[in-house]
């Protein structure tokens, strides 16, 4: 279980480094993010209690206390989800704002990733197997072009043509205005129609990574002796392609899963912003437009931690997939 121990240690070290980076960033930046945040709150007429002021100072850089006491306070505040008050949503704590948005992004990004992984990998298997044919070139050229489109731009065009002109999909939001989120069937259906376009914009642009990864792995695997041997044995083409080549070519693609998640999470910031989708990305969009540093910093932390966790889970799954690391 050396592999597992190493992965757990790496996860803890990365977690610590990410927390520390989040602590250091606002303190290293020119100007005073704390003063900017407090001035912003004051100009909006939001009353700031001493406790909230303290929470913001701990997060963005406090004028008093040594770096070490600040760091300690910062970690304690994290454990209590105490991120202070934001200018954009003054009536609730930052933790509440983020808590409401998190499920939306998890569902949108999660289902998009799985969808893109399955479709992209299948296309890659096919292109690799039929290497050099018209089908191969059309898949690779098509995927190249799709990957080059900025996801938010695809979203804008989809809003214009599919929602605004044709009226097939809602213009924006995660659910119809005036409805309170609940788990009834009609609400879920409503939420689904609202998520189709943002999910498509993200999935289409992230498809290509899987296609190329899988195609190249396939071509490398097809050069292996056991594939030639299987073909020489007269096994059916489908069996050789899927069970011999694709199965082994899949492993490196699973390792890439975590990293590609980063691209989708990044893309979702702007896509959610364009669609006013009620997730973390849209919050970050709002926070940045408002120069709302407490909210922005907390969002960065939550997004980073979710990524780390997802990558860690994929690493654990890898133990199930690859018997070689189990020794």
Partner 1 sequence: MTIVTTAPPPAAPGAGAEVPFGPSSDAIPGPLRFVARALRTLWSNRKARVGLVIIGVDILIAVFAPLIAPHSPTATTFTPYRGPSAANWFGTTGNGQDVFSQMIYGSRVSLLVGLGAGALATLVAVSIGLVAGYRPGPIDEGLSFITNLALVIPGLPLMIILAAYLQGRSVFTILLVVAFTSWATGARVIRSQASTLRNRDFVTLAVFSGERLFRIVFREILPNMTSLVTASFFGAATAAIMAEASLEFLGLGNPSTVSWGTILYYAQQQNALLTGQWVLVFAPGLAIALLAVSFTLVNFGVDALSNPRLREK
Q: Which residues bind partner 1 (CB under 8 A)?
A: 10, 13-14, 17-18, 21, 25-26, 29-31, 33, 132, 140, 144-145, 147-150, 152-154, 156-157, 159-160, 164, 216, 219-220, 223, 258-259, 262-263, 265-267, 269-270, 273-274, 284-285, 288-289, 291, 293, 296-297, 299-300, 303-304, 307-308, 311
The distance of closest approach from Cβ of residue 229 to partner 1 in the complex, given in angstroms and rounded to an integer, is 18
DSSP string spanning 10-40? HHHHHHHHHHHHHHHHHHHSSS-HHHHHHHH
Closest approach, Cβ 219 to partner 1, in A, equals 5
Q: How far is the CB of 215 from partner 1 (least distance, A)?
A: 9
Q: Based on CB atoms, which residue is closest to partner 1, 191 or 269? A: 269
Nearest residue (CB) to partner 1, 239 versus 289: 289
Identify whether the C-beta of residue 271 lies closer than 8 Å to the C-beta of residue 201: yes
Minimum CB–partner distance for residue 33 and partner 1 (Å): 7
Q: What are phi and psi of 261, to 5 degrees?
A: -60, -35
Closest distance to partner 1 from the beta carbon of 251 (Å): 16
Choose between 124 and 273: whose C-beta lies nearer to partner 1. 273
* Beta partners for residue 85, in sequence order: 93
Nearer to partner 1, 29 or 179 (CB): 29
C-beta closer to partner 1: residue 106 or 308: 308
What are the tokens at 242?
A: 């899927």
248 contacts: CB under 8 Å, gap ≥ 6: 221, 224
- CA distances 151 to 124, 199, 244, Å, are 21, 10, 35
Contact criterion met (CB below 8 Å) for 163 and 214: no
- Closer residue to partner 1 (CB): 219 or 230: 219
Mention every residue, 6+ apart, whose C-beta is less than 8 A from residue 40.
87, 290, 291, 292
Minimum distance, C-beta of residue 326 to partner 1, in the bound complex (Å): 22
Q: How many other CB atoms are found less than 10 A from the CB of residue 188?
A: 12
Question: Which tokens belong to 188?
Answer: 């879920």
């Amino acid at each position: 279980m050396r592999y597992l121990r190493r992965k757990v240690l790496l996860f803890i070290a990365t977690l610590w480094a990410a927390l520390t980076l989040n602590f250091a960033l606002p303190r290293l930046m020119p100007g005073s993010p704390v003063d900017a945040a407090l001035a912003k709150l004051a100009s909006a007429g939001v009353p700031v209690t001493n406790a909230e002021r303290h929470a913001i100072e701990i997060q963005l850089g406090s004028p008093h206390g040594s770096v070490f006491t600040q760091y300690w306070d910062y970690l304690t505040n994290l454990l209590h989800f105490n991120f202070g008050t934001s200018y954009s949503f003054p009536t609730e704590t930052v933790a509440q704002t983020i808590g409401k948005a998190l499920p939306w992004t998890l569902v949108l990004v999660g289902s998009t990733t799985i969808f893109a992984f399955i479709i992209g990998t299948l296309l890659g298997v096919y292109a690799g197997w039929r290497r050099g044919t018209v089908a191969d070139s059309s898949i690779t050229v098509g995927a190249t072009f799709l990957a080059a489109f900025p996801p938010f731009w695809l979203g804008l065009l989809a809003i214009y043509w599919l929602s605004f002109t044709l009226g097939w999909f809602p213009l924006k939001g995660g659910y119809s205005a005036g409805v309170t989120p609940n788990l009834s069937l009609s609400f879920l259906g409503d939420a689904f129609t609202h998520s189709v376009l943002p999910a498509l914009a993200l999935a289409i642009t992230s498809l290509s990574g899987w296609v190329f990864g899988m195609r190249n792995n396939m071509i490398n695997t097809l050069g292996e002796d056991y594939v030639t041997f299987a073909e020489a044995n007269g096994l059916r083409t489908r069996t050789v392609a899927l069970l011999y080549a694709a199965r082994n070519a899949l492993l490196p693609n699973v390792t890439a899963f975590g990293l590609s998640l980063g691209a989708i999470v990044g893309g979702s910031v702007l896509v959610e912003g364009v669609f006013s989708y009620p997730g973390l990305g849209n919050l970050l969009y709002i926070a940045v437009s408002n120069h709302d540093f407490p909210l922005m910093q907390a969002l960065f932390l939550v997004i980073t931690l979710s990524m780390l966790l997802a990558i860690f889970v994929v690493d654990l799954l890898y133990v199930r997939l690859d018997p070689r690391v189990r020794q």
